[in-house]
Structure 1
Amino acid sequence: MRTVDVSEVTALVRRLCMEANYYLPADLRQAFVAGQQQEKSPLGREIFDEMLANCDLARKNDVPICQDTGFAVVFAEVGQEVHLTGGSFEDAVNEGVRQGYVDGYLRKSIVSDPLRRVNTDDNTPAVLHTRLVPGEKVKIIVAPKGGGSENMSASKCFTPAATRETIADWIADTVVNAGSNPCPPVVIGVGLGGTADKAAELAKVALLRPVDQRSADPFYAEMEQDILAKVNASGVGPQGLGGTVTALSCAIEPYPTHIASLPCAISIGCHVTRHAEGEI
């Protein structure tokens, strides 16, 4: 049994909130380079230039990549052999978000009630997904989610008779119809199976996969490529101004489901689909 004071959780979340907003993952920056080489539109290539310059300036100056520093979505894996002391784990995570957004001069975008719309002024509370796993470590991923891309989320419960092609077409059509709203070129996260709420969580998890990795299952790897090809054939292009690169990647996370169900959820990540991770 290993003892961890929750103050360590707060410190880690604080740091990750800033890192996630300042530093674009290396695999995504490389996808910008590859996307620019593939892009046929002159304007589209110029947009990729601006995207690359923006993420490099953000890293150099420790400033946000985007003015929308997002809802703090936190994924935590807590080892079963860890004994947490010093307070509530959830409170510690939210305190880390508060410190990270205040000390890091990140925009505070969270309102305390969906209808009354009063800002909490510290970007809390986070959306926290916690799993118990074997071992004696705590792993945390902070994945800020901007409002423009989040608004393009979608879910649908298909019948089990739905074909692979029907589902792939619905996913591609949803992304294409989002147009410029999620700030393309986008990253497409798909959750397939489970229940409606599980599929939505899986879609967010899918956005954490490196954009240069396909599913380990050849069946889903091919489906990911098919969806990506359909979206990029749409002509929406970088920032919705026309072109050949509308999406950088598609990731599908499947899960067992009920014999009468086939839920599917889509989480679209903007061109700065951010996350940072650390371990205690």
Structure 2
Amino acid sequence: MELDLHEVEEVCRDLYVRALKILPPDIKAGFAALQRQETSATGRAILDTMVENVAVAERTNNILCQDTGIPIYNVVIGRAVTFDGAGLKAAIRRGCERATKDFSLRSSVVHPITRHNDQTSCGIRVPIIHVDFDEQQETVGIEMIPKGSGSENGSFMQMLLPSDGINAVKRFVIDRVIDLGGRVCPPTIVGVGIGGTSDLCMHLAKIAATRPLRTACADPEGARIEAELSRAVNELGIGPQGLGGRATSFAVHVEVAATHITQNPVAVNIQCHSARRARATITPGGIAFA
């Protein structure tokens, strides 16, 4: 299958808008679970308001949050797909720009020094584009994540000592959640990266933060730690919007990578309660959105 770049452009345009307007089913189910578990009257009231906001946005075809975020596109390409790599990146960028202009989205992307906003949701090295490959044949998967600043500001990385062990990793995560309190619009998904190099570790935390709920780390030790941290975070009493309660986080997700014998990197990246993402799959038979 030869990848149609015009089709990619259209898909990336539509995915940006879908991600801003439609909350994924796993996040809606996560809200329902937190509502059942919340013991604080204030916490329940805030969760009810959040759920109503989701319903109103979808009912009125409006965006879920005014922050249109930093656009991230994750592309996974099957082994029997031929494509122009430079053309693929250009098509994704055009789709991102068109979404912003065609739907009058508020661009949140500025130059880091001048703070100039081109009103395109694009800029130097933005949108962020990750391309990977898998064993599928004539299949291309594109995921769009509009990563909001409120939660992205909850990002931390530390090179710990190997002798400090896994308890130091857990302490680092819990301390960061406590420090952030309500500033990251909880309930959150707490993404944790463990291992790799400093840059890979931070990337792992982003992957973890944007992973669907009810999924587990593929590494057994990582899965065990994320289960322990998920329980611990919801015992902190921070609650929805930091106003008290049990519903501090939907979950803590962990992703791991092998690392050097002399280092123990850990990173945290937060996803807010409006955990927006949208996905499409392109095959010879057409396009399917999810």
- Give the TM-score normalised by structure 2: 0.91
Mapping of 1:226-265 within 5 angstroms?
Answer: 226-265=228-267
Distance in 2 of aligned mates of 1:67 and 1:212: 27
Distance in 2 of aligned mates of 1:62 and 1:71: 21
1:6/1:87 contact within 8 Å kept: no
**Which has the higher mean CA deviation after the structures are superposed, 218-227 or 177-186?**
218-227
Provide the alpha-carbon RMSD of the alignment: 1.6
- CA 1:86 to 1:197, structure 2 compared with 1: closer, same or farther past 3 Å? closer
Cα distance, 1:170 vs structure 2? 0.7
Q: Which residue is equivalent to 2:226? A: 224
Cα distance, 1:25 vs structure 2? 0.8
Cα distance, 1:207 vs structure 2? 2.4
Distance in 2 of aligned mates of 1:83 and 1:216: 29
Aligned amino acid, residue 148 of structure 1: G
2:210/2:271 contact within 8 Å kept: no
Mapping of 1:117-196 within 5 angstroms?
Answer: 117-124=115-122, 125-134=126-135, 135-196=137-198
Distance in 2 of aligned mates of 1:98 and 1:164: 43
Q: Secondary structure, in 3 states, of the residue corresponding to 1:82?
A: coil
Q: Secondary structure, in 3 states, of the residue corresponding to 1:72?
A: strand
Distance in 1 of aligned mates of 2:210 and 2:184: 17
Structure 2: state its 5+ residue gaps.
283-290
Q: Secondary structure, in 3 states, of the residue corresponding to 1:96?
A: helix
Q: Which residue is equivalent to 1:55? A: 54
- Give the TM-score normalised by structure 1: 0.94
Note the alpha carbon deviations across 1:244-279, whole angstroms, 9 max, x for none.
111111110111112222221111000011111112
1:173/1:231 contact within 8 Å kept: no
Q: Which residue is equivalent to 1:24? A: 23
Q: How many residues align?
A: 278
Aligned amino acid, residue 130 of structure 1: V
Distance in 2 of aligned mates of 1:186 and 1:166: 22
1:77/1:139 contact within 8 Å kept: yes
Q: Which residue is equivalent to 1:275? A: 277
Q: Which residue is equivalent to 1:7? A: 6
1:168/1:226 contact within 8 Å kept: no
Q: Which residue is equivalent to 1:82? A: 81
- CA 1:248 to 1:86, structure 2 compared with 1: closer, same or farther past 3 Å? closer
Q: Secondary structure, in 3 states, of the residue corresponding to 2:82?
A: strand
Q: Secondary structure, in 3 states, of the residue corresponding to 1:74?
A: strand
1:169/1:227 contact within 8 Å kept: no
Cα distance, 1:119 vs structure 2? 0.4
Aligned amino acid, residue 25 of structure 1: P
Cα distance, 1:26 vs structure 2? 0.7
Distance in 2 of aligned mates of 1:68 and 1:89: 26
Note the alpha carbon deviations across 1:12-38, whole angstroms, 9 max, x for none.
111110111111111111111111111
